[in-house]
Chain A
Amino acid sequence: KNQVEQSPQSLIILEGKNCTLQCNYTVSPFSNLRWYKQDTGRGPVSLTIMTFSENTKSNGRYTATLDADTKQSSLHITASQLSDSASYICVVSAWGSYIPTFGRGTSLIVHP
């Protein structure tokens, strides 16, 4: 069964600090991995999308990495801001499937 596990479930950091969120998956055959940011009461917003041949992709202060061999991805947030407080969702798609597998998300709270 395809699964996506995210850790930690929740994280509290101080403004200005860096943090890293983890995503492990068992989806096969792998097609792509996406990271989304979801603010409370809003729909998810796409941060990055990576295919098998890509091992890093950045979007401003967000940098995603992918290790397709170990089936792991991480999302690194640099110099956190209060507006980074949100849920971060990892989504993995398999070749030939229209149904991606969503992780349950990591809830990030940034305190001033």
Chain B
Amino acid sequence: NAGVTQTPKFRVLKTGQSMTLLCAQDMNHEYMYWYRQDPGMGLRLIHYSVGEGTTAKGEVPDGYNVSRLKKQNFLLGLESAAPSQTSVYFCASSYGEDYGYTFGSGTRLTVV
């Protein structure tokens, strides 16, 4: 059972480039989330989805877009990368709000 798988694990982008981070879960979870983690700060929610075909904004959505075309996948897109988006990105999934999250191992993104 793989749990939550994130790809890629590392990436370096130049300012202005675009990229997509992929999150896949095999636990049949309804809810999926994208977080970013920066030094000295708690995890901050970027976007989330409560089911296939649905997406919603979290605390820090600017500069990011998401899609949930299939229940098991949640994609995070950066349209025009900026140095402020240098961070570690975590995907998570859960059965619902009263359940714990299962997190992926993270994607370390550097924008130069």
Contact = CB atoms under 8 A, between A and B. Distances in A.
Task: Classify chain A: how many residues form its interface, as a range.
Answer: 20 to 34
A22 interface: no
B45 A46 contact: no
Interface stretch (B14-22, B62-70, B96-104): B96-104
Contacts, number: 53
Interface in B16-51: 31, 40-45, 48, 50
A31 B97 contact: yes
Nearest to B43: A102
Interface stretch (A37-45, A63-71, A73-81): A37-45
Contacts of A43: 4, 90, 92, 103-106
A46 B102 contact: yes
Contacts of A103: 42
Contact of B40 (A34, A93, A104): A104
B58 interface: yes
Contacts of B31: 98
Nearest to B48: A98
Nearest to B99: A49
A51 interface: yes
Contacts of A34: 100-101
Given A98-B56, A102-B42, A103-B42, A46 B48 contact: no
